Amino acid sequence: MTAIKHFLTPFCFFMMVSCSGSEDNLPTTPVKSLSETRLADFNFSYNVEYMEKRTFFYGDERDDFHVSDEFDAEIKAVLTQTQLSNIQQATASSGIGIGCLPGSCTFYFVTLEQEVAIAVDNDLDLETLIGDVDMPAELHLVLLSSKYYPRYYQKISNGFKVVARWSDCNGGSGEDLLEIDSSGNVILIKEIQKEQNNTVC
């Protein structure tokens, strides 16, 4: 699977000849938020019985993390003490993506299969977990490290068209139309909206 952090831009975007003047039909089907997403909404490349997303700040101790999303809380509630202990011990000192300075944070995932808990803390391991991008929920995982947040999607022959929200560390934000193929390659189709608030996140 090609590295999901690499973005490819179509030739017509630079030329602005064939792309301008024609209004694309934008996707309109909402992408569920991560907090609404369940484990069954993913189609991972290997068996996962439980997963959680953790956030931590660089410089903190490995066990000083915040669990921001659980897939699913109902599953975690019935795990054994051994499974829970193994999940708790599966920590990481690095993560996927990076937040804004000075309090820079990052995130990683922990997956559980039977009694084996694994920290997924880099793009390559995340790509391996996702496998083919064939479920709308997986758009969140593909775009997380690039600070995109998928809002609407449309299934196409080899992936998805996606309207995604973005923001940067200089007060900029906007929406773009993206195309994401089944291998996880992200293509910028066009810029939909852009604004500048001159604030630091």
Averaged pLDDT, groups of 10, the chain, 201 residues long:
47 39 77 95 97 87 89 96 97 83 82 97 95 96 89 96 91 93 95 78 42
The pLDDT, as a whole number, for residue 161 is 98
The pLDDT, as a whole number, for residue 9 is 44
Tokens coding 194: 């852009």
What span, in angstroms and rounded, lies between the C-alpha atoms of 49 and 39?
Answer: 8
Phi and psi, residue 144, nearest 5°: -60, -45
The pLDDT, as a whole number, for residue 108 is 93
The pLDDT, as a whole number, for residue 123 is 93
The pLDDT, as a whole number, for residue 17 is 37
Instruction: Tell me which residue of 170, 186, 168 sits closest to 178, measured CA to CA.
Output: 186
Question: Which residues make beta-bridge pairs with 182?
Answer: none
The pLDDT, as a whole number, for residue 167 is 87
Angle at 177 between CA 43 and CA 191, to 5 degrees: 150
The pLDDT, as a whole number, for residue 102 is 67
In angstroms, how far apart are the furthest CA atoms of the chain? 61
